[in-house]
Amino acid sequence: MKSFKGIALLIITNLLIFLTLAITGNILIYFVLPMIGIDVRGSVATHQFAWAMVFGFGGAFISLFMSKFMVKRSMRMEQVTDPQTQKEALVFNTVKELAEREGIKMPEVWVYWDDSPNAFATGPTRNSAMIAVSSGLAMNLTDDELKAVLAHEVGHIANGDMLATTLLQGLMNTFVYFFASMIARMIASVASNDEEEGGMNMIVYFVVDITLQILFSILASIVVCWFSRKREFRADAYAAEALGAESMIRALRKIEVLSQQAIPQEEVNEKDALATMKIYGAQGTISGLFATHPAIDDRVAALKQRTR
């Protein structure tokens, strides 16, 4: 029953997102832009690009603003507001101290029950973020190692990584939608010049458009994943500056060992809906292109470079 409720919630959410973007797009194209002297209603290419921007950036920003909501409902979590244990106090106070150091609002602190050692930060803005820590991470790392990981997550918030990733994802989505639609339109026009074959025209357009969206999305994901790996190095650097590189190095090495024990390697490399929230990274040339996190060895090497 719970799974059916989750599916129903997902379907309803996507329908509401589509309707919101469709209404927003029409208001933008037919009312807002003409008021400021930009009329794209008669231009097919410009009209399509405007729609691509609405859906590309709109979808990305809606996902960003719903990130906390969706995470909390997809995982068994508990918010820490009044720490009851030594570990909870360590997590809460570390996040609080680092937030005060950065001059940002205290992020929500959550713990969730999972043997896999993991932590992640999400949220729409620097002052409306959350940090979640798995029980496997909290129980298996030393205090210094755990604090280093928390500093890494605060680094993501302080660096504005969630917003930056959303902007890049929105840009990539826009180009995917626009070029797929334009190429599909040209191919469909060539394939059906006769007015009587208008139905075939739409079929060709639909098939080509969907196919190209899939292909272009794969290429765009390489760019987004590259940026994601770069932001991990920056967050590591923040943790090293805040609490020292050695603690972060030890934490990464221990997480690597614990992750391999908890999850078979073939499962680690599979596509994961929460991939951007995983600490470990994929190995190998091809898998590395689509990895949201760098390999542990690369992260450790970068941290060691800072200590020289």
pLDDT-based confidence at 194, cuts 50/70/90?
low
CATH 3.30.2010.10 fits 75-308, yes or no: yes
Mean pLDDT of 129-157: 95
Q: Is 240 or 46 the better-scoring residue by pLDDT?
A: 240
Q: What is the pLDDT of residues 52-87, one digit of tens each?
A: 888 888 888 888 999 999 899 888 899 999 999 999
Give the integer Cα–Cα distance in Å for 164 and 123.
12
What is the model's pLDDT at position 197? 47
Residue 7 has a pLDDT of 47
Q: Which residues are annotated as catalytic?
A: 153
Mean pLDDT computed over 238-256: 93
Q: How high is the pLDDT of residue 22?
A: 64
Residue 8 binned pLDDT confidence (cut-offs 50, 70, 90): low
pLDDT reading at 289 higher than 90: no
pLDDT value, residue 263: 52
Give the pLDDT band (50/70/90) at residue 308. low
Residue 282's pLDDT band, with cuts at 50, 70 and 90, is low
pLDDT at 85: 92
Q: Looking at the chain, which residues constitute the CATH 3.30.2010.10 domain(s)?
A: 75-308
pLDDT above 60 for 268: no
Q: pLDDT (tens digit, 9 = 90+) per residue, 177-189?
A: 888 888 888 888 7
pLDDT value of position 274 = 43
Write down the pLDDT at residue 148. Answer: 96
206-218 pLDDT, tens per residue?
899 899 999 999 9
- Judge whether residue 95 has pLDDT over 70: yes
Whether the per-residue pLDDT at 49 is higher than 90: the answer is no
Whether the predicted pLDDT of 230 surpasses 90: yes
